[in-house]
Amino acid sequence: MNKTEIFTFKWFLLPLTAITITGAILMSFGLIQLLTFGLAYILFFFAYLFTATSKSSKADLSITAPAFRIEVLVKCTHCDYKEVKKFTPGDYVFKKLETCKQCNEGTLYIAGIYGIPLYPTEEESDV
Amino acid sequence: MLQLLPTGGEDLTSWIFQFLFLLFIILFSLYSQRFQLWIWINQIKASLLQLKQMDVQGRRIVIHMIKELGKPDFDPTQRVDELRETFFIDPVDKDPVGVLKRLEHLLDIMKENSTFNVKQLAPKASSEVLANIENTLEASMALYQIYRIIRHYFLLGKRNNNIFFIAQIQMQLPQIMKIAKAYFQALRAFADGIPIGDSIGPLVVSLLEWKHASCDNLEVIKTPARDIYASKFKIKNREVFILRATGPGGRVGKPGEAVFCLVKNNPNIKRIVTVDAALKLEGEKTGSIAEGIGAAIGDPGPEKYKIEQIATQTNIPLDAVIVKQSIEEAVTPMRKEIFSSAEKVVSKLEHIIETRVKENEGILIAGIGNSGGIGYPLKCGGSNE
């Protein structure tokens, strides 16, 4: 879970609903239970405020971390040799590399450079 | 409500609880907006810290890159800070006559200044590395601008306890953070010379050249347009002209001007096709391809205008092929889905060439976008450096 998600409405609403339902059940038993419910509600509210305040003072260190694994697709100009290797600075598409080890005739070249996200990004829409 | 009031025979604890509960209701009804403001301020503060972190890290990457690759004999930190404050003033549009020419002039000056300044900062870097440093610096400037604007409205809202300022930022915050994170990843990609989603245009035309051009078939054409590579080769007895920004350093060039010159100097060109990355709508698949009419180019105006102008003057049909992606995907390293779509776009272009251009006629295909990490498919010797 992302650190900022703790402040979202979802994480506020779920415990609140739980407290409300519990409170409603307790209410049927008498006045003192209602007061307990009220107190729990107040405590939760202030706990939420406190959490929101204290957490915000800490920065999320993961924000500047690399978000992609960069892969380099290497192909041969002569045969159907294919290889995926790790990106190294200085690589670019159509860069010529060494002679192909498979056919010993063609030259290996970078056919593509692409990024694979390290974390799941957007959810696929089902509508 | 009456049940809340104490009835006879209850102990002190009930009274205290009831008092606290009523106090809470009163407090909440009077100060609910303040509480809301407090929560929002803290949420914005947390995001602002993240923005600052990205900005600081971005600045550090730029300075490190200049020191490592440019080897200046002075500390570039102060100059980088000065350049990050650079601004651009849009031309006056109350009198719209000639606004595009004035805008183009200003954009040209900005580009010249930027190139000159980066060259001064990194005197020992090659032209391709200089282009990458320039792109990285621009991404760092964009991050700094986002951080400064959010900080401005946040402090303004906080100082004046203005819930409207705070609410506006808080509601736009997820989108702003998404864009800022994308710019930060773009900065990393530019620094390493990795193709971004927007590089699909140059990649497609280069793939087309790779597939169909040969040493006796390929002719490299010089155009007066800045940072543009153009060539000519034949596919099924049709003359195919392609153009893209020079690479593998990150550039966008002036494709509009190049299209204008090529069409003017080659009356044989009977069709223009622009290939570019385009923003997808939510729910659409990344890397999906669509075909349409018009100039697919996302510049501030002058380049698109030139393409439309020459197409209209010469009565040439103007087609566009787009590869859909989100704004984040367009500026971050090219995703596999986008890369995989390049082959499909090439097939589509081959179909267009075969069906919409007659034999011995010419077609101009412009690959629009940043050429970072995309070299040339030189099969006849030569170097990309």
pTM summary value: 0.83
Whether the CB of B193 is below 8 Å from some CB of chain A: the reply is: yes
> What are the residues whose beta carbons fall under 8 Å from the beta carbon of B136, sequence distance 6 or more?
B61, B62, B65, B187, B190, B191
Contacts of B210 in chain A (CB under 8 A): 94
Which position has the higher pLDDT, A7 or B369? B369
- Our CA angle for B193, B322, B287, nearest 5°, is 65
CA B277 to mean position of chain CA atoms: 10
Max CA distance (Å), chain B: 106
As a whole number, the mean pLDDT across chain A is: 74
3-state secondary structure B216-235: CCCEEECCCCCCEEEEEEEE
CA distance B374 to chain A (A): 5
Contacts of B39 in chain A (CB under 8 A): 7, 49, 52
Helix then strand count (H, E) for chain A reads 2, 4
ipTM: 0.84
| pLDDT for position A118 | 86
pLDDT at residue A127 greater than cutoff 60: yes
Nearest CB to A94; choose among B188, B206, B334: B206
Domains in chain B with CATH codes: 30-192 (no CATH), 197-367 (3.40.50.1470)
pLDDT tens across the length of chain B (385 residues)? 545 555 555 577 677 777 777 887 887 788 888 888 888 888 899 899 999 999 999 999 999 999 999 889 999 999 999 999 999 999 998 888 999 999 999 999 999 999 999 999 999 999 999 999 999 999 999 999 999 999 999 999 989 888 888 999 999 999 999 999 999 999 999 999 999 999 999 999 999 999 998 888 889 998 889 999 999 999 999 999 999 999 899 999 999 999 999 999 999 999 999 999 999 998 999 999 999 999 999 888 999 999 999 999 999 999 999 999 998 899 999 999 999 999 999 999 999 999 999 999 999 999 999 999 999 886 565 544 4
Q: Which of residues 263-322 of B touch A (CB under 8 A)?
A: 282-283
- Extract the tokens encoding B91: 């031309």
Distance CA B363, CA B351 (A): 12
Check residue B68 and report its DSSP letter: I
Which of A94, A119, A124, A125 to mutate: most B Cβ within 10 Å?
A: A94
pLDDT at residue A40 greater than cutoff 80: no
Q: Is residue B77 left, alpha or beta, with left meaning phi > 0 and alpha meaning psi from -120 to 50?
A: alpha
pLDDT at residue A9 greater than cutoff 60: no
CA distance B313 to chain A (A): 36
pLDDT at residue A10 greater than cutoff 80: no
Residues in chain B: 385
pLDDT bracket for residue A20 (50, 70, 90): low
Check residue A72 and report its DSSP letter: E
Question: For residues B44 and B172, is the Cβ–Cβ distance under 8 A?
Answer: no
Question: For residues B356 and B270, is the Cβ–Cβ distance under 8 A?
Answer: no
Nearest CA in chain B to A65: B185
pLDDT at residue A63 greater than cutoff 90: no
| pLDDT for position B362 | 95
Distance CA B150, CA B197 (A): 27
- Our CA angle for B136, B141, B144, nearest 5°, is 130
Coil/strand/helix, residue A68: strand
- Is the peptide bond prior to B248 cis by the omega test (within 30 degrees of 0)? yes
- The mean pLDDT of A83-89, rounded to a whole number, is 92
CA distance A82 to chain B (A): 15
Output Rg (C-alpha) for chain A, integer angstroms.
Answer: 28
| pLDDT for position A59 | 52
Q: Which of residues 87-126 of B touch A (CB under 8 A)?
A: none
Distance CA B189, CA A66 (A): 10
Nearest CA in chain B to A38: B21
Percent helix, strand, coil in chain A (nearest 5)?
Answer: 45, 25, 35
Distance CA B210, CA B207 (A): 5
Coil/strand/helix, residue B17: helix
Output Rg (C-alpha) for chain B, integer angstroms.
Answer: 27
Contact flag A113-B373 (C-beta cutoff 8 Å) = yes
Q: Which of residues 11-40 of B touch A (CB under 8 A)?
A: 14, 17-18, 20-21, 24, 35, 38-39
Contacts of A16 in chain B (CB under 8 A): none
CA B368 to mean position of chain CA atoms: 12
